[in-house]
Every structure is written in structure tokens, then in C-alpha cells.
Structure 1
């Protein structure tokens, strides 16, 4: 399950960025079973990542990844390796090439049939192409980044048959959204957000349930998701929603930040 979860996350990231507006300056490649992604004009400093690798991490693999970022004239990127591909010597390797710990991710998953039905007073629908632009902007507003080309990037996924976008509505007002990528027998629940003034009313729980049902109907056995590990004494609303919906913690993954020397 670790590798399936990693591959599904890497695929939704790759497909988003491969269809991104030119203004974001994206370069995306597949290597070693995973992907390396660089977004030159990233307004939220999130989308330059390397992840999903199936090979055991070696100095040669790390150098291939860093060579990619250097070829893009990148100044920084986040490398994400699942625990099962890390050698015991990785901490030493990370120090040698200048990788620094940069937070952790918790991966969650369960059988599609184990996701709990959720009730909300919002109306939950699939996203029509006519609503794609609004949906993308609602999601980016919920992440605190309205009015950027990232909204268009997310909206572009609505026309991709591998994605299944869902929205929550308060009457005729779209208030929340979330996406699903079908990747083999795994459905990746991703890109969920609710406008601040509508939080706490069950939108994301209902959207998780709707996406799990869509994954089941598409032939998936499992749904997976990922979110940040909260700092001690703090809470992560997304993590709480996923656990409440029935997804179980699978493992934690350390993020490693590379910064070009001299910067």
C-alpha cells in the first residue's frame, strides 16, 4: 500500500502541473518510477517537489533529482521519499548533499467501502466544466491564494477523465471543493478546501464520502490521502476530517528541502 499511495500522489501532482498555464513556468519529468516537478513562478512555494520513487534511494538517484532542479535553475525544492525506499544510511546522505528536514506528511488510507457516510446541509455535486473556473478559485481561496494561475491549473483537471471533481453548495453559492484521481485500483483524495466562513458544517466530510463512492464506482479498492503532521499541541483540520471519515494512518513521511548552495 505504501507504494500505491506514493504513486497515486505523484500522479495527481504530475497531471496537475503538466496541464498548468504557461505563466507558472512548469517543468515536469518522470524518473525512477516517480516524478520531479518544478514550478518557476509558484505563488505559494508548494509545487516544486520530487516524489513517488519506486527505487531504493541511492546517492546516484539523489544526484539525478538535484541535476534536474539545477537544470531548471531552481533555487529550492522538496524531496519526498517513502520510508520503504530509504536506506539506513539516508540521514548521512542527506547531510552530504545539503538536504534539511522540512516537516512531515501523514499518509492515510482504507478500503473504499470503509469510508463513512457523512451528512451535511450543503448540496454535493460533481463539477461540470461550466463550473470549473469557479471551483478552482474556491479551492485556491480556501488555501489563502486567490486570484492566481493555480486556480486555472486546478480547474483544468475537470476535463481530465482521470480526475473527478466535487463541489459543495450553499444554495447557489459554491463553498467548498475537492478532487479525486483514479489511479489503477487506488483513488487519491486530494485538493480539498472550504471557504473560511463555511467551515465546521460538514462540507469536507461529505466531499470525502462522495469521492470515496466515486472511487468505488470507478473500480478502486482503496482510497488514500495525505496531509501535514501538526505541530505538538496543534490540530490539523484536514487530518481530523480524514480520520473521522474512516481513513487510517498508514505511515509518516519526512520532507527534505534542498536549497541551491550560496543562496
Structure 2
């Protein structure tokens, strides 16, 4: 499917990476759309839709809205390109009816001057970049530093998951129950895998992976502050890369803030930069 490039080690081909093409970039983007759609639909399908979640297509783009989760990542348009220029007014109206500012995410292969000019004309401005990385699953069993262990989360441990998620991301732990509920609904949904990490036998962090169409998406990982810089994030990465290989995946995909510690950890684990997308914000 892809043109391949090899990493050479003393004359031996040890890895084969697909080179970045428009086709690959859009497959990487689609993997992110797939996991976000699965996540928000699962939240929407909770009895009575208490979080007020919606998924709305606009041409080839997908808009996400979660009333009780005002963060940009849950109120965003993904997959937009020049083909959706005529739908931007409808997107704006969709969020305006819900009194919610939103962001638009644009990957390089879908970007052009007409799209940027249209967004600027509607009062949008570019506010940042975000990196998407990709890699090849490895069948090498992870070897963790002393004191670090990773295992899959059990279904009855989502209260613990919610607390670790909040502590690891800086959210108020008073919201741990809501985080637990919004992730518990994913546990038996096809493709979702949850992991918990320990440092010196203490629960220290959590990580999540979503598998669909032979791609493993590294959707989330966090370590609580007092256990950082011990190697748990690298252990989470290596465990999920290994599990993706066991599941027969072709690719691993992750996202991180540009030049962040998360991006650095992914690169050290063997992932490469696929593209850096632009984030545009409305008024």
C-alpha cells in the first residue's frame, strides 16, 4: 500500500516505515477521527445523554460537541478540507446554537489558501500546532525499569482510573466520578483497551489505546506528578506498541503538543512525525 523506507543497522534491515504521503497522512487523520467518534458516541449513548454529546458530519468533516466538557478537544471539527468551505457557515451555526466556541483542526495535506482565507474571513485565527506521530508495532516484549509495572485495567477499577486521570492531567479530583463514567462506557466497546501503571507498587498513572482498521491509536496517557520522571510513560508506550503487534495492527498513531515531553517520549519509542496540524479558533 505504501512506499517503504528502511532503517539500516550494520547492513541489516531492521524496520520498515511507510514514507509520509497524502494517502498515509489522511489515514493517520482518519484513525483520530475514528477513535474520537467512538468515544463521543459512547458518551452520547449513556442513558439520557447527561453530558449533552453530539457528533455531526459536515461533508467529509466531523464536528464534535459535548455540553458538559467545554474543552477544545471535545468541541472541535476534524477532517476539514477545501471541500467543506461551503459548509463553514453551517458549522458556525451548529456551535452558535449551543453557545459554544469551537476549534478547527487542519492537516497539511488538506490545507490551502482558500480554506485559510475563508476561516479568516469568518473571524478565525490560527492558535497553535499539534503533532501526529506514527510507528510500526513491535513484537519485542517490553522490559520496564525497576519498580515499574503495567497491566490492563479491570472493569471494576474505573473509580481508580478516574482519580488517576484527574491527578495526572490537573483536573479537579471532584470530577473523578464523571471521568470514570465517561470512560467506563468504553470498556466493552470494540477496540478500546485500558492500562494502569504502578511505580514501586503504587498506582501512578493510566493509559488508553483504541484499535480500528488495523491501526492502534494511543489516545491518552497520564502519570500523577509525584511519580513522573521514573519511566512510566515510556512503559505505557512500549506496552501499547507490543499489544498492538499482538493484535495484528499495521500502524501505531499518537498525538502530542509540538516539541512536548509526550512527543519526545513517542520519538524515543520509535515513532516518527507524520505531520503537524494547525489549530484554528473562532471568536
TM-score interval for Structure 1 and Structure 2 normalised by the shorter chain: 0.7 to 0.9
Alpha-carbon deviations, 1:178-202, whole Å to 9, x = none? 1111120211011110001001111
Return the structure number with greater relative CO, CA threshold 8 A, min gap 6. Answer: 1
What SS class does the counterpart of residue 154 from structure 1 fall into?
helix
CA distance in 2, matches of 1:115, 1:154: 29
TM-score, normalised via structure 2 length: 0.81
Answering whether residue 116 of structure 2 is matched by residue 87 of structure 1, we say no
Task: Write out aligned runs for 1:70-109 (5 A).
Answer: 70-71=96-97, 73-109=98-134
Deviation at 1:86, TM superposition (A): 1.9
Which residue number corresponds to residue 233 of structure 1?
none
Q: Are the counterparts in 1 of residues 152 and 195 from structure 2 also a CA contact under 8 Å? A: yes
The answer to whether the 8 A contact 2:33-2:78 is kept is yes
Shift of 1:175: 0.9
Hey, what does 1:12 align to over in structure 2?
35
Structure 1 residue 175 corresponds to structure 2 residue 204:
yes
SS for the counterpart of 2:74 is coil
Give structure 1 stretches of 5+ with no counterpart: 231-235
Distance 1:241 1:116, change over 3 A: farther
8 Å Cα contact 1:80/1:255 also seen in 2: yes
User: Highest CA radius of gyration, 1 or 2?
Assistant: 2
Q: Taking structure 1 as reference, are residues 30 and 181 closer, same or farther at Cα in structure 2, changes over 3 Å only?
A: farther
Identify the residue that residue 201 of structure 1 maps to in structure 2.
Answer: 230
Structure 1 SS opposite 2:87? helix
Shift of 1:29: 2.3
With structure 1 as the length reference, what TM-score do the two structures score? 0.87
Q: 1:150-161, aligned counterparts within 5 Å?
A: 150-161=179-190
Measure, in 1, the Cα distance between the counterparts of 2:32 and 2:202: 30
Q: C-alpha offsets along residues 60-112 of structure 1, whole Å, 9 cap, x if unaligned? A: 132332232234x2330011121112223222112111111121101100111
Q: Distance in 1 between matches of 2:109 and 2:129?
A: 15
Q: Is the 8 A contact 1:108 1:248 kept in 2?
A: yes
